[in-house]
Structure 1
């Protein structure tokens, strides 16, 4: 009993000493969050997956053994008997239904998938943050007319939220026509309501803080308070949501490509298009569907793990 009590006392003293050192150095919110991320196994796994994905997307296309659109082994494909050459020395992932190297197409397709996910997320982040920022500032600091503007903007966001996200993306893509740019816009518009409501709620919460009251008492104008104080202090949950939205954007972009609304240029591989093309050859070569599907799942998992770990590190309510 005495030995156990002594160990507990030593542990408490050590934690108190570390806390005192942190207080002396003045650790910021982001520094503390980064420190927690380094100790979180899920964050490490997610970061490793994303690092490999980004490395393959940026560097891989320059190192692939064959051009992704070169039909070098078309003569070996026998669709009438269901024969498509599989894994071998010259083709690490085999070839596809028209004789193109599957490994080269997977590597080059990673860049297109990353491009779609990042651009779509940036569109949603920019538009959603603009609407949410205006609504949050109007609701929290704008008085009666500000609350009226907030109601108008939020009813527009509610209209977007009333439709299922995938159905809304399909509708936008069908109106604009198939193409990679269309997929980016459609997926970006779908994520606008999430960012708008999140930033608005965070800003309204910050508007009731003591520092806002102090700045108002000193005569600082409300637009300046909103731009220089409230918005910067409200961005942490939005940044975390952007990481999670990247995973959703990749999945939704792949879904649109699978439905034939994605990239219509066959010479540029993209994982969703590759998955759609492979459905006709599930019996002859199931790897043509398994490989892009696994790539999409693992990449989305990496973004999700890192995003959830960031949310836990930045939100005191979720810390373990």
Structure 2
């Protein structure tokens, strides 16, 4: 009879059900936080646009200087430039972006200047990240350890951070740059110092939040020392928001570095291409050749936009409260 299942057929259907359950378990297998965040980033249009912009910027900054058609420092077309007649040759076959006020190829300077801008942004962000992580990590570990000494260390470090946060960021950067003297290294230190309190506060808060989780309680009940818990468990699990903030800070660092260079506190050697310095030099020629200011300004804006889009998308992918 067709409605009656033979023992052999029952066994086959049972094996089929087991295979389906096994496949379902494989599909539902848990993934790490970063793997899950990467999946969300791939489906986020803003993250894709930001990543494409950053990849293009990195490609130009790293490979571009080796492929530029002209020496960015050589004043090859100086004879064609006239300050008296406000004549600065524009885009043409041999100069895609024209020449600047000293007869240098503007396209080559824009491409080579991307590397200097990237260097300033990355180094200044690393300075703020490392120093801020040391301060915030120490304060977070001390607060998590508890006790009189731990609270004292936490309060002392956070009061220093509060004083830095009380000052406007640009004013603090200008003050540091003015004290150290104008140079590219000064810009990196000044911009990095501005981001120190942000990283310190963020890491401390994240570590304190992690110290109240179940795995910390389990480790404590097993007799693991609090210092080891802070370094091997709490700190690694607290770095996700700090990494996201570093991506956002890169955009701010590029803009602030350009602002300091515009104010004359950056590299004093204007022959070395850097977008902020180029923007500062171009202000005297806005009427005759506005492209000299527009080109580096567009580069700064687009690069900062790329970092911001990717950073916001990463924050949304890693923060459960902001996930869509």
Greater radius of gyration (CA): 2
- Give 1:266 deviation, angstroms: 2.2
Aligned to 1:150: 154
Q: Distance in 2 between matches of 1:20 and 1:122?
A: 42
Q: Moved runs in structure 1, 4+ residues, more than 6 A? A: none
Question: How big is the shift at 1:265?
Answer: 1.7
Is the 2:270–2:278 contact (alpha carbons within 8 Å) kept by the matching residues of 1? Answer: no
1:178 is matched with: 182
Q: Deviations over 1:120-161 (max 9, x none)?
A: 000000000000000001112232221111000000001101
For structure 1, the 5+ residue unaligned runs are: 1-16
2-structure distance, mates of 1:96, 1:29: 49
Partner of 1:256: 260
* Match of residue 5 from structure 1: none
- Aligned partner of 1:56 in structure 2 is 60
Query: CA-atom RMSD, angstroms?
Result: 1.4
C-alpha distance after superposition, 1:253-278 (max 9, x if no partner): 00000000001122211000000000
CA contact (8 A) 1:141 1:207 kept: no
Kindly tell me the number of residue pairs found equivalent between the two proteins. 304
**Does the alignment pair 1:282 with 2:286?**
yes
TM-score, normalised via structure 2 length: 0.92
> Is 1:23 aligned to 2:28, yes or no?
yes
Deviation per residue, 1:62-90 (Å, 9 max, x gap) = 00011111001111111111111001000
Alignment-derived partner of residue 221 in structure 1: 225
Q: With the length of structure 1 as denominator, give the TM-score of the two structures.
A: 0.93
In the alignment, the residues of structure 2 paired with residue 101 and residue 296 of structure 1 have an alpha-carbon distance, to the nearest angstrom, of 19
CA distance in 2, matches of 1:197, 1:20: 41
**What is residue 74 of structure 2 aligned with on the other side?**
70
Could you say which residue in structure 2 is the equivalent of 1:14? none
Separation in structure 2 between the aligned mates of residue 311 and residue 144 of structure 1, nearest angstrom: 35
Worse overlay, 136-145 or 235-244 = 136-145
